[in-house]
């Protein structure tokens, strides 16, 4: 049986298109004479990290095709606002984006619509240092440079939460956006940061190459990591699609519609406040 995250992601994606676009072509959905709908989607950290697994499974097992959907292209995001921008800029049916990035984009006036929850944990996110580093744990970070992927990303929020719960004063270290996971590792190997984010399943294959400092699960039990969103174009062309996406695919999953509320803030205080709202003991 598929993990609930896998079933939920598939249910949202399938019903978003199959039920919401019954009247034919829209800007982000093309339908041929046989009724097959072709779409492109955006997935954070595609194709190698955990976010990609539900979509790999769905494509390999033919779940999308079973519902009359052809995935033409999956647009990769490197975390944070990059995936949100891909959905906003591209002619895409839906995307899976960092919850924190979605809230920040809505604060800035984005019309993206959240229709369901994706990953509800951060078990794959770890922080590492070079094997010859003097660092041993999160408590050793004072005076050091620490990398995360991009502003508004899960890794930025997870870092803020971990520092707070470990009792480490964030003002005593430098936090730097390095880009994607591989870019952060390259930056660390070049000395630009002392520690950075890594992620399973890639880390599991390289655990002898890097020193593990902490896992996000050491400090974070539950966390709404990603959200399934529709593009504003699709919502404008067929408002019923966003309602349809909250209905489950029979036999696969129930889905839910999150309610996001955010007040404009600025700087590190905004990140810490939003992070604590997304995480609960």
149 vs 49 pLDDT, higher one: 149
Tens of pLDDT, residue by residue over 91-122, are 677 888 888 878 888 888 877 888 777 888 88
Provide the CATH number for the domain formed by 4-120+224-265 in this structure: 3.40.190
Q: Are 203 and 128 in contact (CB under 8 A)?
A: yes
Please give the pLDDT value at position 232. Answer: 64
146 - beta bridge partners? 175, 195
Please give the pLDDT value at position 210. Answer: 98
The reply to whether CATH 3.30.420.130 applies to domain 125-218 is no
Give the H/E segment covering residue 226.
strand 226-230
Please give the pLDDT value at position 25. Answer: 55
* Closest-CA residue to 9 (of 122, 99, 119, 121): 119
- The residues, ordered by sequence, that sit 6+ positions from 19 with a Cβ below 8 Å of its Cβ are 240, 241, 244, 245, 247
Can you tell me the distance from the alpha carbon of 11 to that of 268, in angstroms, rounded to the nearest whole number?
Answer: 35
Q: What value does the CA radius of gyration of the chain take, rounded to a whole number of Å?
A: 19
Most confident of 43-52, 221-230, 272-281: 221-230
Tens of pLDDT, residue by residue over 116-139, are 778 888 889 999 999 999 999 999
Q: Is the pLDDT of residue 250 over 50?
A: no
Please give the pLDDT value at position 78. Answer: 66
pLDDT classification of 147: cutoffs 50, 70, 90: very high
Chain centroid offset of residue 89 CA: 17
Please give the pLDDT value at position 2. Answer: 44
- Provide the mean pLDDT of the chain: 75
Please give the pLDDT value at position 236. Answer: 67
Please give the pLDDT value at position 39. Answer: 83
What pTM does this model have?
Answer: 0.65
Please give the pLDDT value at position 7. Answer: 47
pLDDT classification of 193: cutoffs 50, 70, 90: very high
Domain spans, the chain: 4-120+224-265, 125-218
Q: Is the pLDDT of residue 170 over 90?
A: yes
134 vs 13 pLDDT, higher one: 134
Please give the pLDDT value at position 36. Answer: 84
Can you tell me the distance from the alpha carbon of 124 to that of 198, in angstroms, rounded to the nearest whole number?
Answer: 8
pLDDT classification of 43: cutoffs 50, 70, 90: confident
Q: Is the pLDDT of residue 23 over 70?
A: no
Least confident piece of the model among 37-41, 60-64, 247-251: 247-251
Least confident piece of the model among 57-61, 224-228, 235-239: 235-239
The residue-averaged pLDDT of 24-49 equals 74
pLDDT classification of 185: cutoffs 50, 70, 90: very high
Q: What are the residue ranges of helices labelled H in the chain?
A: 4-18, 53-61, 63-66, 81-89, 99-107, 154-166, 181-189, 232-237, 240-244, 267-278
Please give the pLDDT value at position 151. Answer: 85
228 vs 250 pLDDT, higher one: 228
């Amino acid at each position: 049986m598929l993990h609930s995250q896998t079933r939920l992601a598939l249910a949202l994606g399938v019903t978003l298109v199959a039920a919401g676009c019954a009247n034919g072509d829209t800007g982000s959905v093309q339908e041929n004479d046989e009724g097959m709908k072709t779409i492109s989607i955006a997935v954070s950290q595609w194709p190698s990290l955990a976010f990609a697994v539900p979509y790999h499974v769905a494509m390999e097992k033919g779940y999308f095709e079973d519902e009359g959907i052809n995935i033409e292209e999956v647009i990769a995001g490197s975390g944070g606002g990059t995936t949100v921008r891909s959905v906003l800029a591209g002619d895409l049916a839906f995307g899976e984006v960092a919850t924190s990035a979605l809230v920040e984009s809505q604060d800035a006036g984005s019309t993206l619509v959240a229709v369901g929850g994706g990953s509800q944990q951060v078990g794959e996110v770890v922080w590492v240092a070079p094997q010859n580093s003097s660092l041993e744990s999160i408590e050793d970070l004072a005076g050091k440079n620490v990398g995360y992927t991009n502003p508004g990303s899960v890794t930025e929020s997870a870092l803020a939460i971990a520092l707070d719960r470990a009792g480490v004063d964030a003002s005593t270290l430098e936090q730097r956006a390095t880009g994607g996971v591989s870019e952060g590792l390259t930056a660390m190997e070049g000395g630009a940061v002392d520690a950075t984010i890594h992620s399973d399943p890639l880390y599991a294959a390289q655990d002898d190459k890097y020193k593990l400092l902490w896992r996000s699960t050491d400090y974070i039990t539950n966390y709404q990591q990603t959200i399934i969103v529709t593009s504003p174009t699709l919502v404008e062309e067929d408002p019923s699609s966003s309602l349809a996406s909250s209905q489950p695919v029979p036999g696969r999953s129930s889905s839910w519609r999150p309610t996001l509320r955010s007040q404009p803030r600025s700087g590190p205080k905004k990140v810490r406040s939003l992070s604590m709202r997304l995480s609960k003991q």
